[in-house]
Chain A
């Protein structure tokens, strides 16, 4: 492998890694208050990409306006999912895992709707004004302003969330995550905060898709693969930890990218899986996962 190929592969890996990281963060945000995942999140990300193609390319909307509108839709979708698929179950029996079924059902609905209305495209969305996806030479590799901006944005996201989690409401969400019963006794409005988290998670989920649209054309068959990549990023970094999701996502993106170039594109997932196994063998709760002392 030449130096320039190495750099090129690395850049590609980092870019896709940023998308995984943001998808992972959206999973974290939803997980935080109640301990539930959204198994529809893969299709939520995909929906973001597709809406971006529609709004920006077909309808000619301004990139930023389109992105904002899509995030509003994503937020509404996340909130609705919580309302329909999570809350009714938790009210009946909080230890049930039936939320796996219901969020998977939401996933089915999304994939069906997407499959029915979207024929697929082979073109990517142009980058936002001022951040072109056209590349320039950086040493011996090609990089675009968009790639750089994406990495910066992804790295700033956990910082922004850190501040958010240190506001009054953010603190209450962390309290819920730490000890739900104790938080409820202190009058923390669990339902409202869970809804809020799912709205935010939905918005971040579609954002991952929006940001992916300039990198590659959306592929309707990839819903589950995106979901698993987001999960893997989170599991590598440590469930609930947003810094970890960034590290996990970038690691995952790079490993996939190198495995595809060096070995064979169909072994991308094998590479990712092996890295995952290695990380978890060393740290079963992920890189930043808190060691939980046994409660006896």
Chain B
């Protein structure tokens, strides 16, 4: 929704941006040399923090050693200028290259370690860099550091401090733009997915280790630049500048400013740099007040200062919005919009307007055109389980299970709680490895492959308890599903190249079309965390569909849904099956299974006890005994619609021992 410029400027965000701009321009106007120096230092902190914001704010990886990257950048510049006589400007690229490498080294422990172990190890990394700089190896000048670095000059013309401040402001602006572009891109969404749930990221085929290394590496660029310019600004470097408190300061900057928010680093740097300046008047109580203020800010604004701005903005928007019709601009893709897409593949072009027979009852999709059939986009793949076994310690969770699912078939996997259904699902999707036996997907053995590799083969899944990126809107939660299909060079993401935009627009339309097909297009701009349980489930299924799976694993999709929602779910599964996907449905709702499944596999105590066509299995004596039971009042065999099975015998549904037969 586009508002007129005037009212956009008067919104809290606009006012904030205006104030921020004035604050940044103050040193330029005043031309006070001390002010310019403080401004430059603030900009340097902000620049380094922009990188850390990508690592922690987006990717959720803690780095308490980011100051060491700044130190490395500064020392590369210092050593090259002082010891080798390079001009400062020529050292910028080597400085950035060195910090990128250091960032990669620092990221390696994150591949195996939990959050807090990573925090410790990055802190230790910073201590080691500091120790190295302090030691006398004849390169860095030991504890005294290096002197005489010289200022930055462009083609022989030295920059005045004021000019340097201007350059720094520009760099911060570019950094913010790049991180904003990244935040909106598939790459940024993939990082958010890693931050919020690595399991989800893996299930969508996102290469988690690679993305982590990548985030640390990219964060090295602004850090290196900040270090190099810091060295040039002061003319000297010494280890004391870059001790552990710098790393801590950078971390505080992004937390105070707003973790994961675009302007967070700038706000944080301003507060952390200006507070001590303001407090100099209080002399001996300076640090005391400073610490107390930190406490107050963190307590009142646990999401950081930009979070405060946002909640004010939300409040104002709510005031504005009273009386306005909700659900603007969330309609599904229209044919007119579609013509603008230059899609390279048929599969891309086709999806927005797909209509199948099963669609009709699902949702009214005003703009939908009878386009290509879903079946031309999606195709199923076969699954074969051979002698699968899994033990946890002494407990046999699954023993010698074998069955086959031909391509395009819907199989219901039923059985009492604890019978091993979810364990089996986890082994198919790669979250557990089998103790023995084989899993064949599309005729190929996939044992030993990671979950993300299997997702890239086309195994999609949902979770028993919906796992969404709670702070993101529904649309992003759906678009993230397509992550595995979207690979572009990093640079294109950062500058948001036209090809990236087109792709972005394409996937957003496809996501909207899917949401429309499931009747929840009007929710697309809601934060996922605020959805109802049923809607969360739907969003998860839609997300899985976005990854173009060939086999979809649904883990108890009907649990917690009302009767009406179960009906919708049934139609959704029918639509998915109609598209030709292979579906494995773990479910307790026998009515649902009976209506959508072609075949049923029944498990009990880790073993397969029946397998075959629906009616045959549901009337099978062993199955009735082990799981279904009989309804006492009617005396029917089998289970009627809506009877939630899986209860122990004797609870509503009587077991065979109490059967009146």
Measuring CB to CB, which residues of chain A are less than 8 angstroms from any residue of chain B? 37, 84-85, 88-89, 92-93, 96-102, 104-106, 108-109, 112, 116, 224-225, 228, 231-232, 235, 239, 264, 266-270, 272-273, 276-277, 280-281, 284-286, 293-294, 296
A285 to B252 Cα, complex, angstroms: 27
Known contacts A98-B255, A100-B251, A280-B109; decide if A89 and B124 are in contact (CB<8 Å): no
Q: Once the chains bind, are A101 and B284 in contact (CB under 8 Å)?
A: no
Contact of B295 among A102, A269, A277, A280 (CB under 8 A): A102
Given A116-B284, A224-B244, is A269 in contact with B128 using a C-beta cutoff of 8 Å?
yes
Q: How far is the CB of B381 from the nearest CB of chain A, in Å?
A: 22
Once bound together, how far apart are the Cα atoms of A112 and B259, in whole Å? 27
With A100-B251, A102-B299, A296-B426 as known contacts, state yes or no: A280 contacts B117, CB within 8 Å: yes
Q: B464 CB to closest chain A CB, in angstroms?
A: 8
CA distance A152 to B287 in the complex (A): 40
B interface residues, Cβ below 8 angstroms from A: 109, 112-114, 116-117, 120-121, 123-125, 127-128, 131, 134-135, 199, 244-245, 248, 251-252, 255-256, 259, 284, 287-288, 290-292, 294-295, 297-299, 302-303, 392, 422, 426, 431-432, 463-464
Q: Are A93 and B303 touching (Cβ within 8 A)?
A: yes
Q: Check B288–A93 contact: CB distance below 8 A.
A: no
Is A93 a contact of B295 with CB atoms below 8 Å?
no
Known contacts A102-B295, A109-B287: A293-B392 contact under CB 8 Å: yes
Decide if B135 touches A89 in the complex (CB within 8 Å). Answer: no
Cβ-defined contact, B131 with A267, below 8 A: yes
- A-side contacts of B121, CB under 8 Å: 235, 273, 276-277, 280
How far is it, in angstroms, between the C-alpha of A105 and the C-alpha of B120 when the chains are bound? 18
Whether B135 contacts A105 by the Cβ 8 Å rule is: no
Q: In the complex, what residues of A have CB within 8 A of residue B422's CB?
A: 296
- Cβ–Cβ < 8 Å partners of A98 in chain B: 255, 298-299, 302
B112 touches A281 (CB 8 A): yes
Cβ of A239 and Cβ of B127 under 8 Å apart? no
A239 touches which of B116, B131, B255, B291 (Cβ 8 Å): B116
Q: Which residues of A lie under 8 Å from residue B125 when comparing CB positions? A: 273
Q: Quick check: A264 and B299 within 8 Å, CB to CB?
A: no
Cβ-neighbour of B299 out of A89, A104, A267, A296 (below 8 A): A89
What is the minimal beta-carbon distance from A77 to any residue of chain B, in angstroms?
14
The 10 closest A-B pairs by CB, nearest first: A96-B302, A105-B294, A112-B287, A101-B298, A98-B302, A98-B298, A108-B291, A105-B291, A231-B120, A109-B291
Sample (10) of A-B pairs whose CB atoms are under 8 Å apart: A97-B259, A101-B294, A105-B298, A112-B291, A232-B124, A239-B116, A269-B124, A280-B117, A286-B117, A294-B426
Given contacts A116-B284, A273-B128, 11 further A-B contacts (CB under 8 A): A98-B299, A104-B252, A105-B295, A109-B288, A112-B288, A112-B291, A224-B245, A267-B135, A273-B127, A284-B112, A294-B431
Q: Is there contact, CB below 8 Å, between B252 and A294?
A: no
CB contacts (< 8 Å) of B244 on chain A: these are: 224
Nearest CB of B to A10, in Å: 23
Q: Do A266 and B295 contact each other (CB < 8 Å), given the known contacts A101-B256, A108-B290, A280-B112? A: no
A37: chain B residues within 8 A (beta carbon): 116
Question: Smallest distance from the beta carbon of B284 to chain A beta carbons, Å?
Answer: 7
Q: B255 to A100, Cβ gap below 8 A?
A: yes
Closest to A113 in B: B288
Cα–Cα, bound, A85→B297 (Å): 11
Does the CB pair B199–A296 fall under 8 Å? Answer: yes
Per the bound structure, the CA–CA distance linking A92 and B255 in Å amounts to: 16
Judge whether A235 and B299 touch: CB under 8 Å: no
A-side interface mostly = helix
**A228 and B123 form a contact (CB under 8 A):** yes
User: In whole angstroms, what is the CA distance A296 to B463 when docked?
Assistant: 7
B291: A residues at CB distance < 8 A: 105-106, 108-109, 112
A284 / chain B contacts, CB cutoff of 8 Å: 112-114, 117
Contacts of B124 in A (CB 8 A): 228, 232, 269, 272-273, 276
Which B residues touch A269, using CB under 8 A?
124, 127-128, 131
Residues of A within 8 A of B392 (CB): 293
CB-CB < 8 A to A280: which residues of B? Answer: 109, 112-113, 117, 121
CB pair A104–B248 under 8 Å, yes or no, is yes
Query: Given the known A-B contacts A37-B116, A93-B303, are A108 and B287 also in contact in the complex, defined by CB atoms under 8 Å?
Result: yes
In whole Å, how far is B71's beta carbon from the nearest beta carbon of chain A?
A: 15
Shortest Cβ distance from residue A255 to the other chain B in the assembled complex, whole angstroms? 13
Which residues of the other chain, A, contact B298 by a CB distance below 8 angstroms? 89, 98-99, 101-102, 105
**Residues of chain B contacted by A97 (CB below 8 angstroms):** 255, 259
Cα–Cα distance between A189 and B134 once the two chains are bound (Å): 49
Given the complex of chains A and B, what is the CA–CA distance between A101 and B254 in angstroms? 10
Chain B CB within 10 Å, residue with most, of A99, A108, A269 = A108
What residue in chain B is nearest A101 (Cβ atoms)? B298
Q: How far is the CA of A112 from the CA of B276 in the complex (A)?
A: 14
Bound complex: CA A100 to CA B56 (Å)? 13
A294 touches B123 (CB 8 A): no
In-complex Cβ contact of A285 among B114, B255, B292, B303 (8 A): B114
Q: Is the CB of A108 within 8 A of B120?
A: no
A294 and B287 alpha carbons, distance in the complex (Å):
44
A99 to chain B, nearest CB (A): 8
Query: When chains A and B are docked, how far (Å) is the Cα of A106 from the Cα of B248?
Result: 13
The distance in angstroms between the C-alpha atoms of A269 and B131, with both chains bound, is 8
Q: Distance in Å from the Cβ of B528 to the closest Cβ of chain A? A: 15
A266 touches B131 (CB 8 A): yes
A269 to B126, CA, bound (A): 10
Smallest CB–CB gap between A201 and chain B, Å?
A: 16
Instruction: Tell me which residues across on chain B come within 8 A of A270, comparing CB atoms.
Output: 128, 131
B23 to chain A, nearest CB (A): 22
The closest CB in chain B to the CB of A281 belongs to: B112
Q: Give the chain A neighbours of B426 by CB distance below 8 A.
A: 294, 296
Within the complex, what minimum Cβ distance (angstroms) separates B258 from chain A? 11
B294 near A228: Cβ-Cβ < 8 Å: no
Closest chain B residue to A99 by CB distance? B298
In Å, the complex CA distance between A117 and B114 comes to 39
CB of B568 to closest CB in A, whole Å: 25
CA distance A65 to B245 in the complex (A): 36
Closest to B199 in A: A296
Closest to B117 in A: A235
- Give the complex CA separation of A63 and B26 in angstroms: 58
Cβ–Cβ contact B295 & A294, under 8 A = no
Report the Cα distance A88→B244, complex, angstroms.
27
Taking a contact as CB atoms under 8 Å apart, the answer to whether B248 and A235 are in contact is no
In the assembled complex, which residues on chain A have CB atoms less than 8 Å from the CB atom of B294?
A: 101-102, 104-105, 108
Closest partner residue, chain A, to B287 (CB atom): A112
A101 with B135, Cβ < 8 A, contacts A112-B288, A228-B127 known: no
CB neighbours of B295 from chain A (8 A) = 84-85, 101-102, 105-106
Cα separation A105 to B297 with both chains bound (whole Å) = 11
CA distance A267 to B48 in the complex (A): 27
Given contacts A228-B123, A270-B128, A277-B109, contact A239 B117 (CB under 8 A): yes
| A228-B127, A269-B124, A269-B131 known; A89+B248 contact, CB < 8 A | no
- A184→B135 CA distance, assembly (Å): 52
Residue among A104, A232, A272 with the highest chain B CB neighbour number at 10 A: A104
Q: Compute how far the CA of A99 lies from the CA of B303 in the bound complex, rounded to whole angstroms.
A: 11
User: Residues of B contacting A293 with CB < 8 Å?
Assistant: 392
Best-buried of B294, B297, B298 by chain A (most CB within 10 Å): B298
Give min CB distance, A184 to chain B, whole Å. Answer: 18
Question: How far does the alpha carbon of A37 sit from the alpha carbon of B117 in the complex, in Å?
Answer: 12
Q: Is the CB of B112 within 8 A of A294?
A: no
The answer to whether B302 touches A93, judged by C-beta atoms less than 8 angstroms apart, is yes
B303 to chain A, nearest CB (A): 7
What is the bound-complex CA distance between A280 and B108, given in angstroms? 12
Q: Is the CB of B299 within 8 A of A88?
A: yes
Whether B120 contacts A232 by the Cβ 8 Å rule is yes
- Across the interface, name the chain A residue whose C-beta is closest to B470: A95
Q: How far is the CA of A276 from the CA of B252 in the complex (A)?
A: 26
CA A278 to CA B443, docked complex, whole Å: 40
Nearest neighbor of B127 in chain A, beta-carbon distance: A269
- With a CB–CB cut-off of 8 A, which chain B residues contact A112? 287-288, 291
